[in-house]
Amino acid sequence: MTACYYLDASALIKRYAPESGSQWIVGLTDPGADTTILLSEITLAEMAAAFAAKHRSGQSFTREQRDRALSRFLQECDEQLTLLQVDRYVIDLAVELTQSHRLRGYDAVQLASGMMALRDLAAQGYSPVTFVAADEDLLAAARAAGLAVENPMNHAE
């Protein structure tokens, strides 16, 4: 059975910009791997902002690298990554999550999307979803919600 992973932007950025944990994320998201990679639609904006921030910060991420990484990410979203819609139910759940966990707004939406993916895929008989993030507050909230979690930082090279 294909393994399902839900990645938030803090984990997925490692596929496109070398940093601690990148090697594990690259292997996990390789098109040849027997995995299904799920993302929330909001990850599109988060990744674009992350690429722009890396460029603006002077972290040796040139404008050309930023543009190439964004283009590659958007192409992979169309061809191999599964985008999950964010609807009012997900937003309402995210609002609730912010009241019981230490989460920023987009992180709450990420977790709510991952929780809905787990629920929907389990109902269809698919394998459990593993929630992947490089943010300990987000991972703690995901654990509390009953999700299996992975932190790419635990697989750092």
Which of these, 126, 38, 136, 50, lies nearest to 85 by C-alpha position?
38
The CA-atom distances, in angstroms, between 21 and each of 29, 69, 90, 154 are 13, 17, 29, 7
**pTM for the predicted model, two decimal places:** 0.93
Number of domains in the chain: 1
Tens of pLDDT, residue by residue, the chain (157 residues) = 688 999 999 999 999 988 899 999 999 999 899 899 999 999 999 999 999 998 999 767 899 999 999 999 999 999 999 999 999 999 999 999 999 999 999 999 999 999 999 888 878 877 789 999 999 999 999 999 999 999 999 997 6
Asked whether the beta carbons of 135 and 11 are under 8 A apart, the reply is: no
Identify the domain containing residue 147 by its residue range. 3-155
- Residue 23's CATH number: 3.40.50.1010
